[in-house]
A and B are shown apart, each in its own frame.
Chain A
Amino acid sequence: MSTATQSSLPTTRKPIDWWRWAGRFTILLLLIFTVLPMLWMVLTSIKSQFAALQYPPQWWPAEPTLNNYWRLINPADSIGREFLRYFWNSFYVSLITTILGVVVAVPAAYAFSRFRFPGRTFLFFTVLVRNMFPAVVFLMPLFLLMRWMGLVNTHGSLILTYLTFGLPLSIWLLKGFFDNIPIQLEQAARIDGATRFQAFLLIVMPLSTPGIIATSIFSFIGAWNEYVYAYTFLSKQESMTLPVGIQRFFTEFATDWPGLMAATFLMSVPVVVLFLVLQKYFVRALTEGAVKH
């Protein structure tokens, strides 16, 4: 991917470049559309309940307060205890999903990239087509399966589900990265006496770190945000993840909009930070496949 060579057309001699202004205007509108809801979420989260429920609204909080946040992260408070619990559950499930996902996807992607075994194309297309299935197709039978395995209300049910559903994309992405590592490097290592596994571990793995980071962010964010399965598999309060648990805040404190906005803000922080730090890899993971293959 050549990011360096951007549009460098000789500048037009026309006095006003209407297209450029149209572009700026478009960006401005899209920026407003994107940012305003997030801004209003933050502004609401630093208002008191009383200040939030006013008409016409307080455009800017007259007495900004962090109380909504303190309450959520205070382990001594009953709401805080519950929120921190969901937060930890989400983190735990997402982390384990991500690690196991890499462990399972790397060898599979390596095989799809390097070997020519029968059934390879067929398997690969099933891997891709999986993304087409509606989640509900799996919901009912998986629920029955998890019940049969005694995994309902455990994090195991979520980890197993997320891990598997993330695999097609992880394998597809990693295969793309492995494809770009010249096989000669491995062959040279093999000639020098390395086993296939050693060549893989010492040559291929280090070179495909960007791919592994990209797939990891994807599975982490996917697991962190997942709602449908968590909503169906978990009914015990202490095992709930954030997207499901947050609903309890909504019903219990039906009109506490500032509290809910603070909770959605805290819930978004980890994924947004992860995305901003590793943006390059995330974007690559998103577009790989569709553009290059």
Chain B
Amino acid sequence: MTIATERAAIAPKAAEQPWGIGLLRRIIDHRSDYLYILPALLVMLVVIAYPVYYTIELSFFKTPPNLQMKDKIFVGFDNYAAILSSSSFHRVTINTLIWTVFSTGFAFLLGLAAALALHREFAGRGVLRAVLLIPYVVSAVAASYVWKWLYHSDFGVIGALAVQFGLTDRPINFLDNTTTVLPSLIVVNVWKEFSFAMVMLMAGLQTVPEQLLRAAQVDGASAWQRFWHVTFPHLRGVSMVTVLLLMVANFNSFIIPWIMTSGGPAGASDIWITDIYNIAFGRQRYGVASAYAVILFIVMMVLGYFYVKALTRGDEARAG
């Protein structure tokens, strides 16, 4: 914090003159600065900016399946209309919302519980944190295959355990059943990502001032009251960022449903990205898939707005 203020004093902001000749002058004055970001800028233009532009363009065209894009036909907003009015889009959207809300909610709650339990210093705390983080580090592909085996309809260990404990009389077919498939996949997703929330919230907990907690205790606040009135308000910023990052990741999920069920059975675990992938690379309808991607892109931009706001709030408070 002190370093930041010192730096601000040394490098004061150039006179604010956002547009016109002033801007041009400032750009010329700073021309050598841009050399540093040039390589990054170049690859990002090619690999990020161009594809975004091209996706938006393609979303207004009917594209031939052979990828000869010079043969594409302009169709205006037809692709958008086709998606928004299709019944499968509604079904997939509901799946995606269930997937995202439950994955995010459970990952956050488990992460919060783990963070609170691991906050206190005790022997083996570091080891525990490391073990809990392993699922987050391993590839989603590996995780999907392992869980597919755990859920196996005949030899899966989960079904066998359920029988062992007398919960059912024969193994359950988790992944081939339209009602159990989505919850089963959500469990895998939560397994994979809850420790991300844990790490974020553990870092957040370190920012809670010790004196405040002690003062509350002296004043007779119970453990719950201390959590609710002191700890939790301090975690608000981190919680918001964590929930947003989890939501974005979950809206963009692909690997777990794709490898474990390919969206099946009967589309019961189809979510936005698996649907787009099928439309683009299965049915070769790039125009429609592009329009679909643009719709998601708008949803993400809304989330992105809140993300940047949550991230920069601290900065503004410091500057102001």
Contact = CB atoms under 8 A, between A and B. Distances in A.
B157 A57 contact: yes
Interface in A34-63: 34-35, 37-38, 40-41, 44, 52-57
A interface, over-half SS: helix
Interface in A20-38: 20, 22-24, 26-27, 30-31, 33-35, 37-38
B248 A132 contact: yes
A166 to B, nearest CB: 10
B155 A57 contact: yes
A7 B33 contact: no
A2 B47 contact: no
B98 interface: no
A84 interface: no
Contact of B251 (A33, A38, A134): A134
Interface in A257-285: 257, 260-261, 264, 267-268, 271-272, 275-276, 279, 282-283
Contacts of B10: 183-184
Q: Dominant SS at the B interface?
A: helix
A5 B210 contact: yes
B133 A136 contact: no
A194 interface: no
Interface string A131-166: 111111111111011010000000000001101110
B186 interface: no
Contacts of B55: 137-138, 140-141
Interface stretch (A68-76, A201-209, A223-231): A223-231
B290 interface: yes
A257 B154 CA distance: 13
B315 A293 contact: yes
A188 interface: no
A275 B304 contact: no
Given A179-B3, A228-B254, A283-B199, A117 B34 contact: yes
Contacts of B242: 290
Contacts of B129: 283
A23 to B, nearest CB: 4
Give the interface size class of chain B. Answer: 35 or more
A144 B304 contact: no
B67 A144 contact: yes
Given A145-B46, A257-B149, A221 B137 contact: yes
Interface in B13-72: 13-14, 23, 26-27, 30, 33-37, 39-41, 43-44, 46-48, 50-52, 54-55, 58, 67, 69
Nearest to B280: A140
B200 A136 contact: no
Nearest to B292: A136
B118 A27 contact: yes
A227 B121 contact: no
B195 to A, nearest CB: 8
A3 B121 CA distance: 10
Contact of A135 (B44, B200, B254): B254
B139 A128 contact: no
Interface string A156-189: 0000110111010001000000011011100000
Interface of A: 1-3, 5-10, 19-20, 22-24, 26-27, 30-31, 33-35, 37-38, 40-41, 44, 52-57, 103-105, 107-108, 110-112, 114-119, 123, 125-142, 144-145, 147, 160-161, 163-165, 167, 171, 179-180, 182-184, 221, 224-225, 227-228, 232, 242-243, 246-247, 250, 257, 260-261, 264, 267-268, 271-272, 275-276, 279, 282-283, 286-287, 289-293
